[in-house]
Structure 1
Amino acid sequence: MLRRVYLVAGELSGDILGAGLMRELKSRHPDIEFRGIGGPRMLAQGIDSRFPLETLSVMGLVEVLKHLPGLLRVRRELQRDAFAWQPDIMIGIDAPDFNLGLERKLRERGIPTAHYVSPSVWAWRQGRVKGIARSVDAMLTLLPFEAEFYREHRVPVAFVGHPLADEMPLETDRDQARQALGLGLDDPVVAVLPGSRSNEIRFLGETFLQAAEQLCNARPGLQIVIPAATDLRRREIERLLQDKPALNDAVALLDGHSREAMVASDVVLLASGTAALEAMLCHRPMVVAYKLAAATHWLAQRLVKSQWISLPNLIARETLVPELIQQAAEPTAIADRLGAMLDDSDARQALEARFADLHELLQRGASARAADAIEALAAGEPLPGTSHER
């Protein structure tokens, strides 16, 4: 019987996962108590948050170094708080640089620990898996290939599925999405998502719009839909559009609505990241392109061990979508790939069907499966499904 659960989320995405897990555990254990760090959704589920969620939301090397003394103090205070409270289990949600150290200290005191959302240890710094094995009794992964990595390294693991896959429907309606966005039903649509961060717009915005311009010049009637993640991103995109008159009549610039834009499209152009997973879950063919600062790219080439960077390819373990990286991500190459997709309806339909299959693979009821694993750990039982799931 679970009575006390210590949860530490590091950012808003973790708050969403934590709230789903808390809701599921409360349905099974009405008297359960939660303590640790959570955001608005976890607070609504009843967590006693010892610090604001923003305490751990620090991005970038320089920012982390600046805040390091404060972060270490917070971790020590949480450690003392957990020792005094004596939870049945502690769950770190993402934020591995912070949570794994806390998990290790609690585990050394006999408190079972789990980590929800794998760090990208399968892609770079694979030696970290030894430290993870010392810190956690189980890793809960969102993606199947992550679980395979931990099995190979003999770390107890449960693949729970991805909450986005649970949230998004297996059936999509392209025409309905086009009507909702004010797009024509008959002409082809390309969704262009240059990213949600300023650096992504800086490195990719001009390239993506030049590719769109080439497509529009070659294909009269083509519709380009660009969802802007924030007001600031919208203003940055508007500045880039000013010297591209060929796009004036073709582009619909949206405030948000990225998912609707993907569903409405025939093909998607996007930066690598969660957007690629979302496009896959919308069952839309895509071209993934990404550029980094030269020094960062040089370093990544030497550190990253993965054959692919986009989640659809990583999940499928094969090249389903083109990945154009650094010098390869230039306007003509991007336009050529998108044009080839627009011209081959059979290939598009086959890829949409494959993405629907991958969607089903990830649509597992992540919160319920995570709760199953937590209950098993707290009871000292084997993780459910560990011997056979792939």
Structure 2
Amino acid sequence: MKVFIIAGEPSGDKLGGALMQGLKAQVPEVSFEGIGGERMLEEGLQSLFPMDEISIMGITEILRNYGALKARIRQTADAVVAAKPDVLITVDLPEFSLRVAKLVKEKSDIRTVHYVAPTVWAWRPGRAAKMAKHIDQVLALLPFEPPYMEAAGMRCDFVGHPVVTDPQASQSDEAEFRLRHDIGDAPLCLILPGSRRSEVSRLGPVFGEALGQLKEQRPELRYVLPMAAPVAELVKETVKGWPVTPILLDPREQGEAGKAEKRAAFAAADVALAASGTVALELAAASTPMVIAYDMGWLSRQIIGRLMLVDSVNLVNLVTDSRTVPEYIGDDCRPGPIADAVLRVLDAPQDQTRAMQQTMELLGKGGEAPGMRAAEAVLAGLREC
């Protein structure tokens, strides 16, 4: 069996590596060509070129590198057609992957599988119909996604979310973290202001004011902030103006130990104040109740607000079809309501705790690993065609 597999960013490389591992377990003679990073290379991939050449995000950056990206898209599509694989698997990064799949379909009948369904349930539903012209099968991370893809004419298999296999801190890790940072039995608030400069710059002042109100009402509350490496220096500058002094965890200084320290912080926290995003599932996996806040520029707020099809952006709320996680988005992203919500969740986390547990179960916790399920779905699709 020959597989051509493409990933363009670390999260996709993780998914791709697990899928390759699953395929190897079921088809010992499988071989791989494509583009990937460290995880996929460990599973036997020889990358056509370094993955980071296509790890480009944002309209401005894509336009700046458009010529080089277009050349890589054509080079990759030509390599797929020349390799004549049994299947082309593209992992996320739709700006690159779906263009490659389109060119491949124009020149061949190679089966195409896209791993990670686009969020057509949230906005731009027309993307599913466009994909269906050159994608045969979709592997979905969320249990409610298959009907959207199937309605557009593609096979779609829910294979589980990788968060269910992520390592978690133990009770002893949590206790050692509290001891190491002299927290004792004090309530602990986890602060997660985002991993992009724009997020930290916009949310930093709002979070700071909210924390000031929390300090007045709960002076015993302690704070910890695991920084994202790309914005660590900006975060350090931002918190200097805050009325509280959080424990800062810098991943640049600790390597693997830093990842363990972050997991321990998630487990030790009684409540989290976080920017909107996939971190919600990390918090749910750690059973850490949360309040979500997010804001963006005026133009983005107007455009996205008009395009949104759902009344929540939090995956715990969406997966469980509940609204137990408080969200303060756009105009609602204000210090007073955010601080009040943190206190409510801190005092009564039970409903959210149940919703987080249900979320993990619905995403596949306790079942077969997502990588193995993805491999089985790919093989089932090949047998059908």
Offset from partner CA, 1:251-310 (integer Å, 9 cap, x none): 212124443322111111000011111111111211100010111101111122222111
Partners of 1:254 and 1:171 in 2: how far apart?
19
When structure 1 is superposed on structure 2, of 266-275 and 141-150 the one drifting more is 141-150
Match of 1:17 among 8, 12, 15: 15
Amino acid at match of 1:283: S
For residue 196 of structure 1, what is the aligned residue in structure 2?
195
Amino acid at match of 1:235: E
* Deviation for aligned residue 1:353: 2.5
Partners of 1:174 and 1:16 in 2: how far apart?
25
For residue 351 of structure 2, what is the aligned residue in structure 1?
350
Correspondence list, 1:150-169, <5 A: 150-169=149-168
Amino acid at match of 1:380: E
Q: In structure 2, do the counterparts of structure 1 residues 172 and 357 end up closer, same or farther at CA, with 3 Å as the change threshold?
A: farther
Correspondence list, 1:181-192, <5 A: 182-192=181-191
Amino acid at match of 2:61: E
Corresponding residue pairs, total? 372
Match of 2:333 among 314, 320, 329: 329
CA contact (8 A) 1:259 1:278 kept: no
Partners of 1:252 and 1:60 in 2: how far apart?
31
Partners of 1:343 and 1:144 in 2: how far apart?
31
* Deviation for aligned residue 1:114: 0.4
* Deviation for aligned residue 1:94: 0.3
State whether structure 2 residue 298 is matched by structure 1 residue 298: no
CA contact (8 A) 2:224 2:265 kept: yes
* Deviation for aligned residue 1:181: 5.1
State whether structure 2 residue 248 is matched by structure 1 residue 253: yes
Amino acid at match of 2:362: L
* Deviation for aligned residue 1:70: 1.8
Partners of 1:181 and 1:101 in 2: how far apart?
50
When structure 1 is superposed on structure 2, of 183-192 and 133-142 the one drifting more is 183-192
Match of 2:371 among 337, 356, 367: 367
State whether structure 2 residue 345 is matched by structure 1 residue 341: yes
The runs of at least 4 consecutive aligned structure 1 residues that moved more than 6 Å come to 170-174
CA contact (8 A) 2:193 2:199 kept: yes
Partners of 2:347 and 2:44 in 1: how far apart?
53
For residue 178 of structure 2, what is the aligned residue in structure 1?
179
Correspondence list, 1:1-390, <5 A: 3-108=1-106, 109-169=108-168, 175-176=174-175, 178-179=177-178, 182-230=181-229, 233-244=231-242, 246-248=243-245, 251-256=246-251, 257-344=261-348, 348-362=349-363, 363=365, 364=367, 365-380=369-384
* Deviation for aligned residue 1:20: 0.8
Q: In structure 2, do the counterparts of structure 1 residues 174 and 49 end up closer, same or farther at CA, with 3 Å as the change threshold?
A: closer
Partners of 2:379 and 2:169 in 1: how far apart?
29
Offset from partner CA, 1:225-251 (integer Å, 9 cap, x none): 111112x6333233233344x414xx2
Partners of 1:233 and 1:78 in 2: how far apart?
33
CA contact (8 A) 2:90 2:115 kept: yes
Structure 1 gaps of 5+ residues are 382-390
When structure 1 is superposed on structure 2, of 152-161 and 367-376 the one drifting more is 152-161
CA contact (8 A) 1:228 1:254 kept: yes
Partners of 1:171 and 1:281 in 2: how far apart?
13
Q: In structure 2, do the counterparts of structure 1 residues 125 and 68 end up closer, same or farther at CA, with 3 Å as the change threshold?
A: same
Amino acid at match of 1:371: A
Partners of 2:288 and 2:173 in 1: how far apart?
10
Offset from partner CA, 1:26-62 (integer Å, 9 cap, x none): 1222221101111111112111211110121111112
Partners of 2:296 and 2:18 in 1: how far apart?
34
Structure 2 gaps of 5+ residues are 252-260
Q: In structure 2, do the counterparts of structure 1 residues 269 and 349 end up closer, same or farther at CA, with 3 Å as the change threshold?
A: same
Q: In structure 2, do the counterparts of structure 1 residues 367 and 170 end up closer, same or farther at CA, with 3 Å as the change threshold?
A: farther
Offset from partner CA, 1:312-347 (integer Å, 9 cap, x none): 112122212111012211111111111122222xxx
CA contact (8 A) 1:262 1:284 kept: yes
* Deviation for aligned residue 1:204: 0.3
Amino acid at match of 1:311: L
Partners of 2:56 and 2:30 in 1: how far apart?
30
> Over aligned residues, Cα RMSD in angstroms?
2.0
Q: In structure 2, do the counterparts of structure 1 residues 177 and 101 end up closer, same or farther at CA, with 3 Å as the change threshold?
A: farther
When structure 1 is superposed on structure 2, of 221-230 and 85-94 the one drifting more is 221-230
CA contact (8 A) 1:287 1:322 kept: yes
CA contact (8 A) 1:5 1:89 kept: yes
- TM-score (normalised: structure 2): 0.91
Offset from partner CA, 1:163-219 (integer Å, 9 cap, x none): 111224598678436436525242211111101111111000111122112111211
Amino acid at match of 1:356: Q
When structure 1 is superposed on structure 2, of 120-129 and 148-157 the one drifting more is 148-157
Partners of 2:169 and 2:244 in 1: how far apart?
33
Q: In structure 2, do the counterparts of structure 1 residues 45 and 13 end up closer, same or farther at CA, with 3 Å as the change threshold?
A: same
| Secondary structure in 2 matching 1:287 | strand
Q: In structure 2, do the counterparts of structure 1 residues 334 and 282 end up closer, same or farther at CA, with 3 Å as the change threshold?
A: same
Amino acid at match of 2:327: E
For residue 257 of structure 2, what is the aligned residue in structure 1?
none
- TM-score (normalised: structure 1): 0.90
CA contact (8 A) 2:316 2:355 kept: no
Partners of 2:321 and 2:171 in 1: how far apart?
25
Amino acid at match of 2:318: L
